Chain A
Amino acid sequence: MGANDMRASTRDSSEAVIVALGLTRRFGNVTAVDHLDLRVRRAEVYGFLGPNGCGKSTTIRMLCGLLTASEGSVRVLGHQLPVDAEAVKRRIGYMTQKFSLYEDLSVAENLEFLAAVYGLVGRNATARIAELFEQYHLGELRRQLAGTLSGGQKQRLALAGAVMHKPELLLLDEPTSAVDPQSRRDFWESLFKLADAGTTLLVSTHYMDEAERCHRLAILDRGRLVADGSPTELMADLPGMTLRVDSDQPRRLQEALAAEPHVLGVAQIGASLRVLTDRKDDGVAWLRDALKNVGVTADVEPTEPNLEDVFVAVTRGRKEDGQ
């Protein structure tokens, strides 16, 4: 964690690769993305965290120049979108949420096609493809049809295709949704290798553990940016507090606390409860009072917040605004 922070701070001074201001996209009367402000710096891994339908894919598509914004402005790699969309497309890689290479072509044929599309010919193409086979462990699968690959193999192929032309900016839309935990870790190793080599990455995800690995991340909820910063910043700025409660009646206590105002979430972890409250500093005292009212004796200790707490706190807060 500390190493990541150090790297992130040296990046602060470097230029912004993506700058979006007031980015908005409507489909009919649905506002999929609502006045989003974003700044992604060079060579960082920037995460997009949010539930289904919060507008992650729509935002990424606008950043690639695939969709035009209804409102707002976007600059990607110094190019204004959508006017300079074609220039942007040469310099970015995009990995779609759904597998979008050809299922009826083999692994090698898919990569040959992409190499040619990106203007790699002859020996250059062969060399680059061999390199990608090596990097993403695709060599043995080269003759297999892409449609018959496993989920994890497909993701590797899609990543290899997206980095064919060594893009400066790589946008990945939920790249690990169909992948087992080990493959997910390996996949993230590949992403960090790319970042170390100077590639900027924007990754959308549902997974907290993945979000936690990002240098910085944005939390989206119903099209809006509800929080952004590095994971440590976000956890430090948690608008509330996380408490550990040990008692001999955890189930009863959980029900009682869930009904309590100021409680954003209660989760049972083993024999103890993890309580998220929106009380900032007086959380411990407040909860002890609350427990007295319920009539249960329990130990209350403050505990380290995690990203999930941040996520629940910022999205719950907005739900109550809305109601």
Chain B
Amino acid sequence: MSAGRLFAVFRKELRQLSRDKLTFGMIIGIPTLQLLLFGFAINLDIRHLPAAVLDESNTWRSRELVAELASSQVLDFRQHVSSPQQIDNLLRSGDIGAAVVIPRDFEARLERGTEAAWQVMVNGSDQSVQAAARQLASFPLSSLQYRPGIAAVRPVEIVNFYNPERRAQINTVPGLIGVILTMTMTIFTGMAIVRERERGNMEMLIATPLSPLELTLGKVLPYVGIGLIQVTLILILGLLVFDVPVRGSLVDVYLAALVYIAATLSLGIFISTLAKTQFQAMQMAFFLFLPQILLSGFMFPYDGMPRFAQWIAEIFPLTHFLRLIRAVMLRGAGLGELWIELVTLIVFVMVMLAIAVRRFRKSLD
């Protein structure tokens, strides 16, 4: 391992990058576009969902529950109905997306605390409505709180606690740092290394004293800088456009990002040992990107996923980074409290690099 040779590759890569207008545009363009897209267009939290209420109990406590649900602004009670049949019809016709049913023996059920005291019926064919209902069910309702354990729901979800206005962007922007790094870093490094082979430069490089490690590290190092630029861009845009704060220390944010960049780069390096063409590298990166974005907790809450999906999610580096970055940015946590996530990411990097080094052979065979 020679620093001179490593630097030679690094400098060459930077020069090539500076001439590659497309890649350069993507480095700035992808984060900006995604941030605005996700921030403005995709609002995963539903508000003002048209709803109906069937209050068979009709006591002061049931009325209080309805009032409190209404004040959460998730549901917009447009109709008071008198029979379950009506709810059926309204749901089927699409006039409402959800309905709250309070049974006649609501107070007795609350006393016993053994079964659900009230029900939310939703149009389950709409994923986001379902998610909204689940959120609603876990919403701390003071009208039910005089008896512990009754609501039979999980404790308060952090997102709501730290995001009292229930604004999606608060949760989305830190997540986007992870998503954008996953996408760009893995694709760029995967393609950058495969490019040498595809364009025939590898044959010349193998005949020089350059070692695989020098070549790989030299090629990916510029991307560490690019990753940090992207993080900065998202933080600034997040703050200016969506008013998303950094509650923890900025140093922790960048440290976490740095470790995650290493994870995405190592994944890109691994891909480059499998792919024969740049196109294949891109396909593989996308193949790994999709499940990460779906299962990591970026799109759907981790806690709401089936056990099996959660196990898979644990393998993905994005899952761990999201926990890190949300904790630091939104809850003001320090990295020390989250050392498990950090260690997991570092182990991931080492495993990927170990596999890649074993696979990367300095020959044309």
Residues of A participating in the B interface, judged by any CB pair closer than 8 Å:
61, 64-68, 82, 85-86, 89-90, 92-94, 96, 98-105, 109, 112-114, 116-119, 121, 161
Contacts and interface: CB of A to CB of B under 8 A. Distances in A.
B201 A61 contact: no
B5 A100 contact: no
B200 to A, nearest CB: 5
Interface in B80-101: none
A94 B201 CA distance: 12
A99 B364 CA distance: 17
B3 to A, nearest CB: 10
Contact of B200 (A98, A109, A121): A98
B111 interface: no
Interface of B: 2, 4-5, 7-9, 11-12, 15-16, 19-20, 199-201, 203-204, 206-210, 362-365
A105 B12 contact: yes
Contacts, number: 76
Contacts of A101: 201, 204
6 closest A-B pairs (Cβ-Cβ)?
A: A116-B8, A100-B204, A94-B207, A113-B12, A100-B200, A66-B364
B214 to A, nearest CB: 9
Contacts of B209: 86, 89-90, 117-119
Nearest to A145: B19
Given A96-B204, A100-B204, A67 B364 contact: yes
B363 A66 contact: yes
Contact of A102 (B7, B201, B207): B201
Contacts of B19: 104
A252 B210 CA distance: 61
Given A116-B4, A117-B5, A117-B210, A109 B204 contact: no
A22 B2 CA distance: 37
A104 B16 CA distance: 6
Given A109-B12, A117-B209, 17 more contacts: A61-B203, A66-B363, A67-B365, A85-B362, A89-B208, A92-B207, A96-B204, A98-B200, A100-B203, A101-B201, A103-B199, A105-B12, A113-B12, A117-B8, A118-B208, A119-B4, A119-B5
20 contacts: A64-B207, A65-B207, A66-B363, A68-B365, A89-B208, A96-B203, A98-B203, A99-B200, A102-B201, A103-B199, A105-B15, A105-B16, A114-B208, A116-B5, A116-B11, A117-B5, A117-B9, A117-B208, A119-B4, A121-B4
